Amino acid sequence: MRPDAILATERLRIRTWADTEADRAFFHRVNSDERMLAFYPHRRSRAEADELFDLMRARTRATGIGWAVAEDRETGAPLGFTGLATIRDEEVIGAGVEIGWRYVPEAWGKGLATEAARALLEHGFDEIGLERIVAFAVTDNHPSLAVMRRIGMTARPDRDFDHPGVPDTMPHLKRHAFYEILAGDRRL
């Protein structure tokens, strides 16, 4: 998502990560919480999360698009990591922009990822002018795959891939399902 954008949905406020202790602490949580990372290979210490946080913010400034934090619209409490960002592993996944999400367990099962993703698709297509947005997740990550289907994305099994960032020692996390949506195909 664009760094200057703030998206509001019925229950969420989606904004770019700010260089504050609160955002850094929440970023560490979404990068270290075992339940949130069931389909991810790495758990980060606070120092590692801070380093990644700085790298993520630098990429957002360089590309003009990046990850965001989703907050409860009423309380301001952070609930998730979401957004639109340029794909980093282009040699395997291809060039483009991906949509993604990772929410705290207490926000699961409430439709918040779908609600935010719909707003992000609208932002990506209508405000940024993207023609295509992709998403990918571990093939056993049924909740994320369900969100992809709910927001109108199409499975592309011909594009499924083994993620280069997943160590060979974690074969259960290697294979990723690939989904995409084109600007003309969306049904928000």
- Taking only the tens place, the pLDDT of each residue in 63-100 is 999 999 999 999 999 999 999 999 887 777 778 899 99
Q: Is residue 124 part of a domain?
A: yes
pLDDT at 188 over 60: no
- DSSP letters for 15-69: EEPPSSHHHHHHHHHHTT-TTTTTT-S----HHHHHHHHHHHHHHHHHHS--EEE
* Terminal CA-CA length for the chain: 18
Within-domain flag for 133: yes
**pLDDT greater than 90 at residue 32:** yes
Domain limits for position 30: 6-185
Q: Which of 76, 62, 60 is nearest to 12 (CA)?
A: 76
| Residues in CB range of 137: below 8 A, 6 or more apart | 39, 144, 145, 148, 176, 177
- What would the pLDDT profile of 6-29 be if each residue is shown by its tens digit? 999 999 999 999 999 999 999 999
Average pLDDT of the chain? 95
In the structure encoding, which two tokens stand for residue 28, read together? 């560490």
In-domain check, residue 179 = yes
For 116, the enclosing helix (H) or strand (E) is helix 112-122
Q: Considering the domain boundaries, does residue 24 fall inside one?
A: yes
Q: Tell me whether residue 82 is in a domain.
A: yes
- Which CATH number belongs to the domain containing residue 121 in this structure? 3.40.630.30
Please check whether residue 1 lies inside any domain of the structure. no
pLDDT of res. 186? 63
Domain count, the chain: 1
Residues in the chain: 188
Q: What is the pTM of this model?
A: 0.94
pLDDT tens digits along 144-158: 999 999 999 999 999
